[in-house]
Amino acid sequence: KKIVYSGIQPSGSLTIGNYIGALKNFIGLQDEYNCLYCIVDLHAITAPQEPKDLRKNTLDVLALYLACGLDPEKSIIYIQSHVPEHAELAWVLNTYTSYGQLGRMTQFKEKSQKSKEVLAGIFNYPVLMAADILLYGTHLVPVGEDQRQHIELTRDIAERFNRRYSDTFEVPDILAPKVGARIMSLQDPAHKMSKSDENSDGFILILDSEKDTEKKIKRAVTDSLGTFAYSDDQPGLKNLIDIYCAFSTLSADEVVAKYEGQGYGAFKSDLAQVVNDGLRPIRERFKTIRDDKAYLESVYTEGAARASRMAQKMLRKVYKKVGFIPR
């Protein structure tokens, strides 16, 4: 079986962007592949986190994984900091990554522009991500479109290392969804929806109430053109249509056909309903799972044990190739 790897940062509560672009697609892969789904807390601290929020968010993401249908019997579900090999391999991979390449990463440029002080951690973020992926011999990485550049860098690093020594790392491919690989902010369709956005009207959380979901969709920016079309000239509306498609079986053309000639109001209230209907079972399951501390602990403990075995094997191999003396 091929290996699938992905992770989400506990840097806040998850948005429907995270759901549509990543999490939703994790579920169906579980039968066909050996999947590892991580909660990447080491990545989350590349932006300042309040310790108690980080603890809460980490368990929230885990409970959401389970509420969405990730199955610990099928997949390895674990917390990144429980497997120290991630940080150890990242250090080695840093020596196969060029400074210039990291400086060209869009995520680095955008995130460092927003912060007063640019941390080395955010610069090195893609190297840690490469380590996550390469540590497990990953073939496929289900992520949103915003992560494409990082996957390409991961491939580069793997190839560079393989060329320098011998075949060590599998060179992974991205697996981005056809619809909704890049959900945009509801307040600014030029930027992607992000859980760390300071304007909470820009995103819908998986765990938002039905009322808030509706409110945020009503407030979403559209345009003054007034026509109902799926077009780059109407990026706000286009984004809402993408969200509609992700939560229904309709294509963009079918959504347009359905609402053509109507105002945005009717479409928006239907959209709120479609999103709420899609999220309701997850929202309900989340509560019960999140309250079961013992169950959550058993899931991440077991997950870390299984991930560790794989990670240790790969790291040992890498250390040997590099020329470190085995202890």
Q: How far is CA 123 from the centre of its chain?
A: 18
115 is in an annotated binding site: no
Compare residues 18 and 213 and give the one whose CB is closer to ligand ATP: 18
Q: Name the residue with the smallest CB distance to ligand ATP.
A: 21
> In the annotation, is 192 catalytic?
yes
Query: Which tokens hold the place of 210?
Result: 């039905």
Tell me how far, at minimum, the Cβ of 185 lies from ligand ATP, in Å: 8
On whether 144 is known to bind a ligand per the annotation, the reply is yes
Q: Which of 1, 74, 109, 111 is catalytic?
A: 111
**Residue 258 tokens, joined:** 């359905």
The answer to the question of whether 103 is labelled as a binding residue is no
Answer yes or no: is 32 a known binding residue. no
Quick one: 86 or 192, whose CB is closer to ligand ATP? 192
Q: How far is the CB of 107 from ligand ATP (least distance, A)?
A: 7
Spatial strand order in the sheet of 173-175: 76-79, 34-39, 3-8, 140-142, 173-175
Residue 218 falls in the annotated catalytic set: no
Check whether 121 is labelled as a binding-site residue. no
Burial environment of residue 14 by CB neighbours within 10 A (0 to 12, 13 to 18, 19 or more): buried
- The three-class DSSP label of residue 13 is coil
How many CB atoms sit inside 10 A of residue 202's CB? 24
- H/E segment holding residue 78: strand 76-79
Contact 145, 21 (CB under 8 A): yes
Report how far residue 256's alpha carbon sits from residue 253's, in angstroms, rounded to the nearest whole number.
Answer: 5
Which residue lies nearer to ligand ATP by CB, 20 or 68?
20
Please, are residues 243 and 183 in contact by the beta-carbon 8 Å criterion? Answer: yes
Q: How many Å apart are CA 208 and CA 210, to the nearest integer? A: 6
Q: Which residue has the tokens 């809402």?
A: 240
Q: Binding residue per annotation — 223?
A: no
Residue with Cβ nearer ligand ATP (15 or 75): 15
What is the DSSP-derived secondary structure letter of residue 192?
Answer: B
Nearer to ligand ATP, 17 or 172 (CB): 17
State how far the Cα of 275 lies from the Cα of 194, in Å rounded to an integer: 18
List interacting residues with ligand ATP (CB under 6 A). 8-9, 11, 15, 17-18, 20-22, 143-144, 146-147, 181-183, 192-196
Locus of tokens 């019960």: 288
Cα distance between residue 159 and residue 83, in whole Å: 24
Active site (annotated) includes residue 195: yes
Nearest to 85 by CA among 326, 319, 308: 308
Q: Is 124 annotated as a binding residue?
A: no
Nearer to ligand ATP by C-beta: 221 or 322?
A: 221
Q: How far is the CB of 53 from ligand ATP (least distance, A)?
A: 12
- Find the catalytic residue in 74, 178, 195, 317: 195
* Shortest separation between residue 61's beta carbon and ligand ATP, angstroms: 9
CB of 132 to ligand ATP, least distance (A): 12
Minimal distance, residue 226 CB to ligand ATP, in Å: 26
Query: Computed over its alpha carbons, how large is the radius of gyration of the chain?
Result: 20
**Could you list the active site residues?**
111, 192, 195
- Binding-site residues from annotation for ATP: 9-11, 17-18, 144-146, 183, 192-196
